Structure 1
Amino acid sequence: MDYREAGVDVEAGRAFVHKIRSLVQSTHRPEVLGGLGGFSGWFQLPTGYNEPVLVSGTDGVGTKLKLAFDMNCHNTVGIDLVAMCVNDVLTCGAEPLFFLDYLASGKLNQEQLTQVVDGVARGCRESGCALLGGETAEMPGFYQVGEYDLAGFCVGIVEKSQILDGSQVNVGDVAIALASGGIHSNGFSLVRKIVSDRGFNLHDKVDFSEGKSLGEVLLTPTRLYVKPVLAARKAGITIHSMAHITGGGLPENLPRCLPPGKSIQINSQAWDIPPIFQWLAEQGSVSRDSMFNTFNMGIGFVLLVPPEQAEETITYFESQAIAAYAIGEVIPGEGDLVGLLD
């Protein structure tokens, strides 16, 4: 016997690394040292920091991958993977520097996994971070043929004096919500149950999204907020705190950016909930509470800014083609969201 007979093709693995080399190199920043194929990735810290602090984050894509398998569409989940990590790192004000991925499959399918890495590289380019390296594991008998799993790891940097940790938040600060691109990468176990139990076909067109199938709408990748948010700070917009709206929705994630003794009064009529969420609620008979505690409901990221800069902040992000809404303000409290589910 040999390794190939056991289900692992080492030569195919080497060919895959060669195939994705140009994708990886397309993301490189000047600080990247060395090349692809070593035992580790090297990155020189950028200059210009007095007290640089490294910030790390890790995440995956979750069961959204099942829809990618069913649709045989693999070029967007890599964007999800990067976005879930870099958006988290961004919340403290950090700039993502580099990213690593872990890609495991039952049998290495070069065409399929190249699409995945193409999405990872695109997410990195759009976030300004380097795809520094990764790991591709072929694990026969562990994953079904045609399926894979993803994990991502990101490191960013921020000046110590510029860290956003919630302590800058004041009563009266306005919560500015940035629109999501769709469901992003959370709540897909419920999404898949609704689709399965109601017998929907992912390839069927939906009447609430022009020309797109249900599967295409569901696979819309997570929006990347890094460049516009960092550019807003450089443009003089004061941001006191930030939250990435992921699993658990607004009720779980928005309080994470508040200091002790503060809450947010939410105006639940301040934004229009996108049609995909209305469709899920109707087709699955999902309660309003469950919808808000599972999905982002059209809001992917929230900034807390001084009231005098609220309109300027909205105008700025709209100029970057990101819809923005004033959805509430900071009040004294115990870290809850007042009025969201009224």
Structure 2
Amino acid sequence: MPEQPVRARLVDVAREAGVSKATASKVLNGRQDLSVRPETRRRVHEVAEALGYRPHSGARALAGAGTHALALLVPALANPTYVTITRGAYQRARDLGYLSLLAEDFDGQEADEAFNDLVRDGRVDGLLIASARPGHPLLDVLLRSPVPHVFLNRAVRGSGRNVTIDVARSSITALDHLHDLGHQAVGHIAGPPGISPSEDRKEAFLRHARELGLSAAPVASGDFTEEGGAAAVRALLGSTAGGRRPPVTAVYTSSLAQAIGAMAAIRDLGLRIPEDISVVGNDDLPIAGHLSPPLTTVAMPLYELGAAAVDALVAAIEGSPVGDVVVPTEARLMRRGSTAPPRGST
């Protein structure tokens, strides 16, 4: 088996060029504030080319200008939705020669703490914002910043730089499935008020419920967490003491985590899934198939969403006009054991 070539290192370039490693790094990263003679710069570049040296993207991101690094801000790493989006963004960034940095937007965190240091120091070339919400301080920061950026998943109305999917397709797919099973009273667990994809999903749910002629379509809101789903389903179901039938026979949630919490709360109320209540979750991950019972979900193109956001951002970095992008959306029903015809139906 032929011996693999050894990749040239920065220290090799510095030694051959007769400069320090720090000087070689700054020259190769285009730092213009470095006081070296033009012939020294030229010699460093010639040596790097002769040795076939390629800067590591991680080191380049820490060094400054021309980083080929992107920063992705997500609202919560615990939200399974963003696991898939982040994977799509990371893979596409790597394919395009960019390093992808990840930050979590904790509640109450100032936008300056999240990104300003990275932007001011020139450590990133662009920003992927997945945590935009009304009143977020980052929106004001971005108005004053020239750094290229796009909003993904959570759109900012009127920004002209949103990368989204048609979330209405999820509500339509879930309701069609439950209606086909014979359910006439279906509840929806929405996300917190003001979050654009959740609002769009809720509006589509209510609109399609009217089109299908459902007898009841109540909505309760909750965080995109297990606790949020549990609290919201208790609000939807109310008291079921004394054998009283629940007011809905099926529930459609706005996130996978909400569905997991809702299933636990339904069992705590003494109800069975799917005999008493059917459950459909939005978005799909392998864990859905390992719940008890396995959870029916609507799979959305989240991986493709992350990849498309990177494509749009890199195009903006390279000088192309910025515009809204809607990823082609095919909602796929992943039918499992958490849905069945309502009790007593034929």
Short-chain TM bin: under 0.3
**Larger relative strand fraction:** 1
**Larger relative helix fraction:** 2
- Greater C-alpha Rg: 2
- Higher RCO (CA < 8 A, seq sep 6+): 1
